[in-house]
Structure 1
Amino acid sequence: MRTALVIGTGLIGTSAALALAGRGVTVHLADHDPERARTAAALGAGTDDPPEGPVDLVIVAVPPAHTAATLADAMRRGLARGYLDVASVKGGPRRELRELSLDLSAYIGTHPMAGKERSGPLAGTADLFEGRPWVLTPTPETDTEVLNLALELVALCRAVPVVMDAEAHDRAVALVSHTPQLVSSMVAARLREADETAVRLCGQGIRDVTRIAASDPRMWVEILSANPGPVADVLAGVAADLEETVRSLRSLQSPEESERRAGAEGVEDMLRRGNAGRARVPGKHGAAPAAYEIVAVLISDQPGELARIFADATRAGVNVEDVRIEHATGQQAGLVQLMVEPAAATVLSAALRQRGWSLRQ
């Protein structure tokens, strides 16, 4: 691939363009808002000048509601050898393109499983896709050259290709992406009218659950409108679990010991099923989830403190597998939770104490 045209310079389009431009591909940028394309170009994502002739690959990065129409226009104009989109749903755009009687041998639907709460070209980064799954949904009619172009794009963005059926993809993202967004927003909505004293008690748990609730509502309305059936199916299952859990919690208030026991068993069953589901979430580098030990360190909110902790861990010969920061409300301090291999926890704890760090259980 030597040339590409990215249509749509939001977070995903700009990030893909930055990755390609950084690896020597000549990237042209287009957007319904020319100012967004100019912004992406100023960031180093390519040029907002139109290509002089057909490019190797057109990457359509517009909202799902406009994906098929944008692809159809590009294909009819013969803008490239191959065409792909990065919309978060795959079945709908392909069905719309078939209804337009277009030759789909030059098209492949894709979806990079990466994103942020922020949107727009200024949120784009060249490393957004590194190590992330990038779904490809070829069909028997997909031209081999187009599939190879898609695989090259994934490689240049340093993502991990995953081949799936389009309808299976849409059911999968309903479970792992679209429903979590709605559930996060529902929990966050409970905070809107909450008493200020309750909000001040927010800790890391509520921050974790509501992080993605900060996403752009307009963008998510478009995404959910393109995949409503599978999302509704998953939410119906969540609703059934909620109803059963509510009944169990009500039973815990019963004066009858047998009902209280049944309520406790119901709550425990829900929690254990949650444990089992969480254990299936892939861990580091997509491998099976590992059981890490947590070394919790009290840290002050001052420049260089995080760097000092990691430097001390390095001196101890310990690799930090993951990290979390839990901020203390109203204080210039917090807890850094360092996740390490179980065998390294004792070594790291001793080394950090020796260097003056205050550890917590």
Structure 2
Amino acid sequence: MRTALVIGTGLIGTSAALALAARGVHVHLRDHDPAQARTAAARGAGTDQEPDGPVDLAVVAVPPAHVATTLAEAIRSGTARAYLDVASVKGGPRRELEALGCDLSRYLGTHPMAGRERSGPMAAGADLFEGRPWVLTPTHETDTEVLNLALELVAHCRAVPVVMDADAHDRAVALVSHTPQLLSSLVAARLQDADETAVRLCGQGVRDVTRIAASDPRMWIDILSANPGPVADILAAVAADLDGTVRALRALESADEAKRGEGAEGIEDVLRRGNAGRSRVPGKHGAAPAVYETVTVLIGDQPGELARIFADAGRAGVNIEDVRIEHATGQQAGLIQLMVEPGAVAGLAATLRDRGWSVRQ
């Protein structure tokens, strides 16, 4: 691949362009908002000048509702040797292209499983896709050259290619991406009118659950509008679980001991099913989730403190497998939770104490 055209210079399009440009590909940038394309170009993602002739690869990075029409226009004008999109839904755009009579041999639907709560070219980064799955949905019509160019793009972005059927992909992302977004927003919405004293009690749990609720609503309306059926199916199942959980909680209020027992069983059932589901989420390096122990340390909110505690962990010969920080309300300090292998806990705690850290276990 020597040349590429990225159509749509938001977070995903600009990130892909930055990665390609860093690998020596001459990238052209196009956007319905020329100022956004100029911003991406100023960040080193390529040039906002139109190509003189067909490029090797055209990457369409526009909202799902506009993917098919944008691709159809590019294909009919002979913009590139190969075309792909990076929308978060795959079945719908392909069927729309079929209805428009496009040659699908030069097209491949793809979806990089990466993103941020912020959007636009200023949020982009060449490392956005590194180590992340990048779904490819080839069919028997897909030309081998198109697939090879798509794989080259994935390699330049240092992502991990995953081949799936388009409709299977849409059902999968409904479960692991689209539904979690809505559930996060539903929980966060409860905080909008909550009493200030309650909000001040927010800990790491509510921060974890509501993190993605900060996402751009306009972007998510586009995504959900392109995949409403599978998401609605999953939410209907969640609603049934919620209904059962509400009944179980009401039973726990009963004066009848038998009803309280039934309520406790209902709550235990959903919690245990949650344990089982959580255990299937891939852990480090895609392996089965490991069981780590936590060493909790009080840390000040000053420059260099994180670097210092990681350096001290290195002196102990301990690898930090994961980390979380819980900020203390109204204080210039917080608690850092260092997740490590169980056998490393005692040595890490001792070293950190020797180095002057306040270890809380």
Q: Which category of TM-score, normalised to the shorter sequence, fits these structures?
A: over 0.9
1:62-211 equivalences in 2 (<5 Å): 62-211=62-211
> Could you tell me how far 1:29 is from its partner in structure 2?
0.3
Deviations 1:12-40 (A, max 9, x none): 00000001101111110000000000000
Q: Which runs of 5+ in 2 are unaligned?
A: none
Question: Which residue number corresponds to residue 53 of structure 1?
Answer: 53
**What is residue 21 of structure 1 aligned with on the other side?**
21
Which secondary structure state, in structure 2, belongs to the residue aligned with residue 155 of structure 1? helix
Give the deviation of 1:338 after TM superposition. 0.8
Shift of 1:345: 1.6
Q: Give, in whole Å, the separation in 1 of the partners of 2:79 and 2:346.
A: 60
Structure 1 residues without counterparts, runs of 5 or longer: none
- Is it true that 1:223 corresponds to 2:223 in the alignment? yes
CA distance in 1 between counterparts of 2:40 and 2:98 reads 32
The alpha-carbon deviation at position 350 of structure 1 amounts to 1.1
Deviation at 1:293, TM superposition (A): 1.1
Q: SS of the residue aligned with 1:191?
A: coil
Task: Give the whole-Å Cα distance in 1 for the aligned partners of 2:226 and 2:78.
Answer: 27
CA distance, structure 1, for counterparts of residue 285 and residue 44 of structure 2? 29
Matching residue's letter, 1:264: A
Q: Distance in 1 between matches of 2:323 and 2:24?
A: 34
1:199-348 matches, cutoff 5 A = 199-348=199-348
User: Structure 1, residues 102-139: CA drift from partner, whole Å, max 9, x if none?
Assistant: 11000000000000000000000010000000000000
Aligned equivalents of 1:312, 1:353: Cα separation in 2: 10
One-letter code of the match for 2:250?
Answer: R
Cross-structure match for 1:31:
31
- Per-residue deviation at 1:89? 0.2
Counterpart Cα distance in 1 of 2:339 and 2:110: 33
- CA-CA distance at 1:288 after TM superposition: 1.2
What is the rounded CA distance, in whole Å, between the counterparts of 2:72 and 2:95 in structure 1?
12
Equivalent position amino acid for 2:53 in 1: G
1:295, CA displacement in angstroms?
A: 0.9
What is the alpha-carbon distance in structure 1 between the residues aligned to residue 76 and residue 352 of structure 2?
A: 63
| Corresponding position of 1:10 | 10
CA distance in 1, matches of 2:205, 2:79: 48
- After TM superposition, the score normalised by the length of structure 1 is 0.99
Shift of 1:321: 1.1
| Amino acid of the structure 2 residue aligned with 1:307 | A
C-alpha displacement of 1:286: 1.3
Q: Within 1, Cα distance between the matches of 2:315 and 2:356?
A: 14
Q: 1:126 aligns to what SS in structure 2?
A: coil
Give the distance between the partners of 2:112 and 2:62, measured in 1 at CA.
Answer: 13
Counterpart in 2 of 1:350? 350
Q: Displacement of 1:271 after TM fit?
A: 0.6
SS at match of 1:192: coil
Paired with 1:180 and 1:187, the residues of 2 have a C-alpha distance of 11
SS in 2 for 1:78: coil
Deviation at 1:360, TM superposition (A): 1.2
- TM-score w.r.t. structure 2 length? 0.99
State the SS of the aligned residue for 1:302.
coil
Q: Which residue type is aligned with residue 205 of structure 1?
A: G
Query: C-alpha distance in 1, partners of 2:265/2:360?
Result: 32
Looking at structure 1, the residues matched to 246 and 144 of structure 2 have their Cα atoms a distance apart, in angstroms, of 53
Q: 1-side partners of 2:144 and 2:342: how far apart? A: 46
State the secondary structure of the residue aligned to 2:265: helix
Deviation at 1:341, TM superposition (A): 1.3
Q: Would you identify which runs of 4 or more consecutive aligned residues in structure 1 move more than 4 Å?
A: none
Tell me the distance in 1 between the aligned counterparts of 2:103 and 2:231: 30
Q: What displacement does 1:287 show? A: 1.4
Counterpart residue type for residue 142 of structure 1: T
For residue 140 of structure 1, give the secondary structure of its aligned residue in structure 2.
Answer: coil
Amino acid aligned to 2:232:
A
Structure 2 distance, partners of 1:322, 1:55, is 42
What one-letter code is carried by the residue in structure 2 that aligns with 1:266? G
C-alpha deviations, 1:86-107, integer Å up to 9, x for none?
0000000000000011110000
Q: How far apart, CA to CA, are the structure 2 residues paired with 1:12 and 1:138?
A: 21
RMSD: 0.6
Offset of residue 344 of structure 1 = 1.4
SS of corresponding position for 2:314: helix
Aligned residues: 361
Residue identity in the other structure for 1:154: V
Secondary structure of 1:326 counterpart:
strand
